[in-house]
Structure 1
Amino acid sequence: MFEIPKLKHTDSGNFFLMAGPCAIEGEDMAMQIAERIKTITDKLQVPWIFKGSYRKANRSRIDSFTGIGDEKALRILEKVGKEFDVPTVTDIHESNEAAMAAAFVDVLQIPAFLCRQTDLLIAAANTGKVVNVKKGQFLSGNSMRYAVDKVRESGNEKVILTDRGNSFGYSDLVVDFRNLPEMQATGAPVVMDVTHSLQQPNQSSGVTGGKPALIETIAKAAIAVGADGLFIETHPQPSIAKSDGANMLPLDQLEDLLQKLIRIRQAVR
């Protein structure tokens, strides 16, 4: 895999991890989560990228939490990266956000619903940062080669692909594990977004539901299939998280899960 700044333990043979809260809710929360994940990933020698959205643009209801302010949240991401010497990733939503976010983080993430937005992909690529493109819930793994081409043909070879399930009816998602090897055929590292693939969107309440009890199941299967990395949103108290709490992993369960996944990784290798 291409070099990601500050990414440690890449010689351990383990999968890499993108993990953190769904959204940056405040500095204390972000630092608490980052400190705990760093302790765990250093102990287990799992390469780790801290994830946190500086703004949530895709919300069902107008009164849903969207963020604490762009610059404030981005500076918290920057502080996490510096204090814990860890790379950071956040999602961007419009082309004019790419350069702004790139000044604070190491990886720019393209949300699944926006993975076909050519101008957004080009803007992200032009920053020179690593670009993580999430596969649309409406696309096959094979079709993501065009997103990869857009980034590479813009002069940036540093692209990651992430699967987060496919739409199944109106209010559910299903994971088709054929997508992982199909996307790996592009030569890009492939990540399984474990927690978002367990969402149940479009609920009548306007609040997305989820099936967090299946996090371990999806994660185990992804590693067995050969995923290069995992994406897991985690929070000390998912029930009070301001975004996507219904499908997040309780932080105190992360270490045990990673230990199980490392054993699977060792077996399949």
Structure 2
Amino acid sequence: MKTMKVGNITIDSNIFTLIAGPCVIESETQVMEVASRMKDITGLLGIPFIFKSSFDKANRTSVSAFRGPGIHEGLRILKRVKDELGVPVVTDIHEPYQARIAAEVVDMLQIPAFLCRQTDLLTAAAETGLPVNIKKAQFLSAKDMKNVITKVEESGNEHILLCERGNTFGYNNLVVDMTSIIEMKKFGYPVVFDATHSVQKPGGNLTSTGGNREYVEHLAKAALAVGADLLFMEVHEDPDNAMSDGPNMVRLDEIEVMLKKLIKVYKAVHDFESISCSN
């Protein structure tokens, strides 16, 4: 697997790495609280941590849903996380012009699943030179990601991460095919498993997305067992009252216990692979 730097962190297949934060920036106070607490937890557990939150959620179910503070205010807040806490940051972009602006602050750009085939967006992200985390669309197979990868590579950037987040399975439901992780790893780039978006029920609450956070831990364990290199989780201090994606976000006060279990799975898998290779 190709290694790469995201801020001060090296992405390596032998190191459990977490991308986490609230779905959308709700307030500066909230972001600093969650980021600070997550830094403490991951520091205690000895795992690299990349903070994620969005300045805009352009694909909300309802036109009246909260989208975020916007690009300039959102990036100001993310810069504060980076400067004061020393934590690498990542955020979504939805339009090509946003890539260059966001790249002045963040350490990695993220392409939302619905937009992973948008050539202009991929090219703009690639041309910043930053690592690009590309979420596999809910309607694509793992093998279809080869064309997505090629667009970024041919734009001069091989700092690519691929993210599995489930596939559409009927109306308002997703299912995770764990073989997608295995297939995407064959491309030679790190594979991220998005454990919280994978339990979404898109549009399941009519004017908002539903979800079932009780499955997050189980799917994360399964993803690590088949070889996921990083985990992505959206975390919130009070998910039931969150402004976006509440039903599938992990509670901040429950994340430490969950991570301890997941680290054990990750270590067991890698220990087994080391034994197998030595034999």
Say whether the 8 Å CA contact 1:14–1:45 is kept in structure 2.
no
Structure 1 counterpart of 2:177: 176
Structure 1 counterpart of 2:9: 7
Say whether the 8 Å CA contact 1:236–1:250 is kept in structure 2.
yes
> 5 Å matches for 1:77-156?
77-156=78-157
Distance (whole Å) between structure 2 residues aligned to residue 75 and residue 126 of structure 1: 22
Task: List gaps (5 residues or longer) in structure 1.
Answer: none
Q: Deviations over 1:232-266 (max 9, x none)?
A: 00001001111100110000111111111111111
Structure 1 counterpart of 2:254: 253
- Letter of the structure 2 residue corresponding to residue 2 of structure 1: M
Distance (whole Å) between structure 1 residues aligned to residue 144 and residue 206 of structure 2: 33
Distance (whole Å) between structure 1 residues aligned to residue 260 and residue 204 of structure 2: 34
Distance (whole Å) between structure 2 residues aligned to residue 104 and residue 91 of structure 1: 13
Say whether the 8 Å CA contact 2:18–2:48 is kept in structure 1.
yes
Q: Deviations over 1:108-160 (max 9, x none)?
A: 00000000011110000001111010000001111111111111111111010
Q: CA deviation at 1:81?
A: 0.9
Say whether the 8 Å CA contact 1:12–1:46 is kept in structure 2.
no
Q: CA deviation at 1:163?
A: 0.6
Q: Deviations over 1:62-109 (max 9, x none)?
A: 110011232111110111011111110100011111101111111100
- Letter of the structure 2 residue corresponding to residue 190 of structure 1: V
Structure 2 counterpart of 1:267: 268
Q: Deviations over 1:22-62 (max 9, x none)?
A: 00111110000011100111111111110000101001111
Taking structure 1 as reference, are residues 204 and 133 closer, same or farther at Cα in structure 2, changes over 3 Å only?
Answer: same
Q: Deviations over 1:190-216 (max 9, x none)?
A: 000000010001235211100101011
- Is 2:244 the partner of 1:243? yes
Say whether the 8 Å CA contact 1:15–1:227 is kept in structure 2.
no
- Letter of the structure 2 residue corresponding to residue 36 of structure 1: R
Moved more, 142-151 or 209-218: 142-151
Distance (whole Å) between structure 2 residues aligned to residue 178 and residue 211 of structure 1: 22
TM-score w.r.t. length of structure 1 = 0.97
Q: Deviations over 1:161-212 (max 9, x none)?
A: 0010000001100000000011111111000000001000123521110010
Say whether the 8 Å CA contact 1:12–1:45 is kept in structure 2.
no
Distance (whole Å) between structure 2 residues aligned to residue 101 and residue 4 of structure 1: 14
Please give the secondary structure, in 2, of the residue aligned with 1:67.
coil
Residue correspondences, number: 268
Say whether the 8 Å CA contact 2:13–2:229 is kept in structure 1.
no
Percent of aligned pairs sharing the same letter = 52
Moved more, 145-154 or 223-232: 145-154
Structure 1 counterpart of 2:68: 67
Distance (whole Å) between structure 1 residues aligned to residue 205 and residue 265 of structure 2: 38
